[in-house]
A and B are shown apart, each in its own frame.
Chain A
Amino acid sequence: MHPTAELTHTTQFSLLWLIPVLPLIGAAINGMFGKKLMNRFGKAANHSIAIVLPSISFIITVVAFIKMMGLDEHARVLSQNLFPFLHVGLLDADLAFWFDPLSGTLTLVVTGIGTLIHVYSMGYMADDKSYPRFFAYLNLFMASMLTLVLGDNLLVMFIGWEGVGLCSYLLISFWFTENANAVAGNKAFIVNRVGDFGFIMGMALLFWGMMGGYAGSLGTGTDSYEAGYWKAPADHQTAHISNIEADELCKQYGGCTGAMKTTAGRTLAERFNAPRQAPPTSLRFDAIRARIGADQEAWAEDSINTKTFMGVPLIVLVCIFLFIGATGKSAQIPLFVWLPDAMAGPTPVSALIHAATMVTAGVYMVARCNFLFSISPTAMTVVALVGAATALFAATIGLFQYDIKKVLAYSTVSQLGYMFIGVGVGAYWAGSYHLLNHAIFKALLFLGSGSVILGCHHNQDMRKMGGLKKYMPLTHWTYFAGCIAITTAPVFFLANGFFSKDEILWKAFSANHLLVPGWTIWLLGFVGAGLTSFYMWRSYYMTFTGEYRGEARGHGHGDDHADAHADSHGHHGGEPHESPRSMTWVLVALAALIIPTGILGMWPLVFHNEPLFEQLLHPVMGAATASLDWMHSVTAEGILAGASVVLALGSWFFARAMYKDAKSEVPARLLANKSAWVRIPHKIIYNKYFVDELYDWAVVRRARQLSRILFWFDQKIIDGLVNFTGFLGRMVSAIDGLIDSLIVDGMVNGVAQIFAALGNQVRKLQTGRIQTYLAGAIVGALLLVLVNFALFFE
């Protein structure tokens, strides 16, 4: 079975374009007129625009989702083509949107959680003086992310891809007057860009590969396009291009008759009665999917499935390059280093961008290209292994961090690793489901930590927190719910993370089609899950239980704060306090979402049917998953699930014993332990395995050295050349000057002197003596006579 499924047609939905464009309008208004609006109408003007527009997008998304679900399973797509964007040579790309179950789910996540975070920001950023700028950037981010998710081809997705990278930079370095924040923003953007390079290479290779059938000469003959993909096939071989493409080509060539429009078993010769031209290659996902399906029929001579590039199969290269893009965007090894530093941005930014949406773009992309990855076991193994390694690696770092946001950041990197395990082994729906769940509970955790930070007067160090559950009850309970969700303890239905993570790990274990045995990946993920549970509960107990360890600041603290962050809310004491309602209601809303999403993954598992979410995504990726080789064993599945639960609960209790109420001596004693077995691993892990230092030495310093070398080159050699040219000019002009003054002037003066000398001599004629004149006259007369005599005498 091949990893594609036929779509019969799409449905037009003309409001789709509003979904990304409305936030864009909000960004434009707040960006251009935000300051003026704020001065005139107060901050309410800014946040009203910024919240209303995305919420309208959300409503349109819900309408579209309902409409889409009403369609037949083989046509469950809403689409809208805005305009032809890039029709160049053999490439066709339109600015078009594609709303199928996968993009629909993500659009709901982005618009829904995005709007909630906008509401939260009303409270969190209330005292910030760059209020309009924040909302402008946040809306711009939403517009870019929606473009990414809704794009129907790789190019539109890439537009959104780069846009979210830009917004990430803008928002991380929001308080750029502190150098550290600006540097963090730079780091994020530059590392992201490295990933973008991979993405572009992948796109280019894919485009090149898909032209295989007709990239030969366009004449006749065995290597021409007629001999390739568009050849009239042999009797019982049929061509498959997507029906949507067929419809479009029919329209282009002036129509096909009704009999030609049957789906299966058509031959191309029947379909098109016009002279064949090499049709354009589209980077639309639908088109790529159809092309791969067609090529799997294995009668196209130069099919994308078998093509190689410099000895390496093309599909492997394409998938790996695209995955490099994903590692950059979704913070996997080796390009994860920007995410912890990105915590320098405001907490709503961390919640929205670096937990719920932007970092999931890589996972979304792999899920979208499920048909590409499914035909390459090598690429899948790479994705799964990198994901598993990252999951474990980041989890270990998260164990020892003290900054609550850093714990959550490493947790995000780790959970993204799980998502990549999911999509890497071929369980695309499981990875996407974990994406959904993670968006909810990680946003919840981040916003909760934001509430905690604000309540503790901008302190982020957990060692100075404690006992907050009596000061901030709502934050406390919602954070608790988030912890349960992430650590996969199946308490009633609360642990939506349990269902997704468990599915991922089971699928990893049962994958027989990878280059490594499935259980290796499962093992890495399993250990990581235990660590996840431990560090999350550690953060919970350190923050909320025991006694408050922070400094009691008796004085109001407007005076001892740099104005770099939002200033006080009029604190009267040093005690922590609950956050305003705009923030806590969002926390409650997100916590309430945990249960429904949990049900999505659980029901109707009890009846041994596919979970609802898997059924939802079946049209998009079901065929790709089913085409792979899985082990089926209900008992093994049950045992592994049980082991996960035991591990998660065990880690919970272990963390509880160590950190609840700060009663236990063990953490302090371990830190003080002098033994090398304890000290050295702790030092390595606490310093994040010195990865940043390694990159600094290997990349940043080399880049600076290169820049110094080039600077030297520019100064000495280039400027030397330029200066030398100037010097030459001066030399030439000096010589010219000499020539001018000596020779030219000499000649001019010489002429004058000749005349003067001549005059001096001729002047002697004028003696003033008449006798001389007389003598001259007579001699002249005599000469005339003589000459006359000599000339004319015969």
Chain B
Amino acid sequence: MTVGLEHFLVVAALLFGIGFYTVVTRKNAVAILMGVEIILNAANLNFVAFSRYAWGGTPAALAGQVIPVFVIMIAAAEAAVGLAIVLAIFSNWRTIDTGVTTSLRD
């Protein structure tokens, strides 16, 4: 079997689904952040796959290489900020269970 573009896309979609599922389902705030990472990485995988298979070694393909670098960078920054928020939540609620921090509900 030759590995084609669609295989990478399917894997990226699956990863997106897993990450989505993690975000939606997990109660632990850190786990939710992990899920967000997974989603971002799924998008990265999409970029790279298109870069290799849609444009080959052309100069346009470089976009598909560079964007994931930015995304990783942003992900890292975002994770830092997110964890800072989690820390702040923890100092208020003494827990990071999202089932407890529901004061927006009312």
In the complex, the number of residue pairs spanning A and B with C-beta atoms less than 8 Å apart equals 27
Chain B positions within 8 Å of A766 at CB level: 105
Which of B9-62 touch A at CB < 8 Å?
A: 20, 23-26, 32
Task: Check if B20 sits within 8 Å of A770, measured CB to CB.
Answer: no
Chain A, Cβ-Cβ closest to B16: A778
Q: Assess whether A676 is interfacial by the CB under 8 Å rule.
A: no
Q: Determine whether B103 belongs to the interface, using a CB cutoff of 8 Å to chain A.
A: yes
**A769 touches B (CB below 8 Å):** yes
Contact check, A769 vs B105: say whether CB atoms are below 8 A apart. Answer: yes
CB distance from B77 to the nearest CB of A (A): 19
Is the beta-carbon distance between A768 and B32 smaller than 8 angstroms?
no
A257 within 8 A of B: no
Contact check, B102 vs A768: say whether CB atoms are below 8 A apart: yes
Complex Cα distance A637/B50, Å? 166
The answer on a CB contact under 8 Å between A768 and B20 is: no
Closest to A771 in B: B24
Determine the residue in chain B with the shortest Cβ distance to A775. Answer: B24
Bound CA span A774–B25, Å: 11
- Name B's interface SS: loop
Interface residues as binary, A761-794 with B (CB distance below 8 Å gives 1, 0 otherwise): 0000011111110110010000000000000000
Cα A771 to Cα B99 in complex, Å, equals: 10
Report the bound CA distance from A772 to B99 in whole Å.
11
By the criterion CB–CB under 8 Å, are A767 and B23 in contact? no
B24 and chain A: residue at smallest CB distance: A775
Which of B26, B103, B105, B106 has the largest count of A CB atoms less than 10 A from its CB? B105
Is the pair A774, B102 in contact by a Cβ cutoff of 8 Å? no
Interface 0/1 of B63-106, CB less than 8 Å to A: 00000000000000000000000000000000000110011111
- Name the distance in Å between A771's Cβ and chain B's nearest Cβ: 5
Q: How far is the CB of A780 from chain B (nearest CB, A)?
A: 13
Q: Shortest beta-carbon distance, A323 to chain B, in Å?
A: 110
Count of chain A residues with a beta carbon within 8 Å of a chain B beta carbon:
10
Q: How far is the CB of B90 from the nearest CB of chain A, in Å?
A: 16
Are A769 and B23 neighbours in the complex by a CB distance under 8 Å? Answer: no
Q: Which residues of B contact A771 (CB under 8 A)?
A: 23-26, 32, 98
A774 touches B104 (CB 8 A): no
Determine whether the beta carbon of B104 is less than 8 Å from that of A778: no
| Chain B residues with CB below 8 A from A769, complex form | 98-99, 102, 105
B24 pairs with A770, CB closer than 8 A: no
Could you say which of B25, B32, B105 contacts A767, with CB atoms under 8 Å apart? B105
A30 vs B103: C-alpha distance when bound (angstroms):
105
Most A CB contacts (10 A, CB to CB) among B24, B26, B98 go to B24
The answer to whether B103 touches A775, judged by C-beta atoms less than 8 angstroms apart, is no
- Complex Cα distance, B106 from A478, in Å, reads 126
Whether A768 and B24, one on each chain, are in contact in the complex, defined by CB atoms closer than 8 angstroms, is no
- The distance in angstroms between the C-alpha atoms of A767 and B24, with both chains bound, is 13
Query: In the assembly, what is the distance between CA of A767 and CA of B102, in Å?
Result: 7
Q: Which residues in A have their C-beta under 8 angstroms from that of B25?
A: 771
Residues of A within 8 A of B24 (CB): 771-772, 774-775
The answer to whether B20 and A775 have CB atoms under 8 Å apart is yes
Closest Cβ of chain B to A779, distance in Å, is 9
Docked-complex contact B20 and A778, CB < 8 angstroms: yes
What are the residues of chain A within 8 A of B106 when measuring CB–CB?
A: 768
CB <8 Å contact, A768 and B104 = yes
Residue from B26, B102, B103 with most neighbouring chain A CB atoms (10 Å): B102
CB-based nearest B residue for A772: B24
Give CA–CA (A791, B105) in the complex, Å: 36
Shortest C-beta distance, B103 to chain A (Å), equals 7
CB-defined contacts of A778 to chain B, threshold 8 Å: 20
Give the shortest distance, in Å, between B50 (CB) and chain A (any CB).
17
A775–B25 Cα distance when bound, in Å, is: 9
B6 to chain A, nearest CB (A): 16
Most buried by A among B20, B25, B26, B106: B20
Q: Whole-angstrom distance from the CB of B61 to the nearest CB of chain A?
A: 25
Question: A767–B23 Cα gap in the complex (Å)?
Answer: 15
* Given contact pairs A768-B105, A769-B99, A778-B20, a sample of 12 additional A-B residue pairs in the complex whose CB atoms are under 8 Å apart: A767-B105, A768-B102, A768-B103, A768-B106, A769-B98, A769-B102, A769-B105, A771-B24, A771-B25, A771-B98, A775-B20, A775-B24
7 A-B pairs with least C-beta separation = A768-B105, A768-B102, A775-B24, A768-B104, A771-B24, A769-B102, A767-B105
CB pairs A–B below 8 angstroms (11 shown): A767-B102, A768-B104, A768-B105, A768-B106, A769-B99, A770-B98, A771-B32, A771-B98, A774-B23, A775-B24, A778-B20
